[in-house]
Amino acid sequence: MSNFLHTMIRVGNLDRSVAFYTQLLGMQELRRRDVPEGKYTLVFVGYGPEPAHAVIELTYNYGVETYELGTAFGHLAIGVPDVYALCDKLRAGGAKITREPGPVKFGTTVIAFVEDPDGYKIELIERK
């Protein structure tokens, strides 16, 4: 049986990104691996333990502070119980809300978009 394990994104400041995903989005730091000989550190964050839950691998390459995100990547999507309340928390934590909470066009599902500290787009989808 196959299952989705993780998505890897490169980050420019590991502490800032871990704080965003854990403190603001409520994920847990699941594991960390520093590889000095390869000049990188990996931190896996998520809402539950692997492999039962897909997680995000935050990859920090020593000395690289920014990346060009390109035009092919769209966004990560997270189901949340209250999009409005989470956006208030994110905004108070300094996060950039790029689409305010509200129903999708021609529908009733409540969504919002936020950017992580490196500019990756995250869609928040309300799941009551």
Residues taking part in catalysis: 123
A 10 A CB-CB count for 74 gives: 9
- Assign residue 117 a region: left if phi > 0, alpha if psi is -120 to 50, beta otherwise? alpha
Of the candidates 102, 24, 72, the one whose C-alpha atom is nearest the C-alpha of residue 113 is 102
| Cis peptide bond N-terminal to 51, omega within 30 | yes
A 10 A CB-CB count for 12 gives: 16
Of the candidates 26, 39, 33, the one whose C-alpha atom is nearest the C-alpha of residue 122 is 26
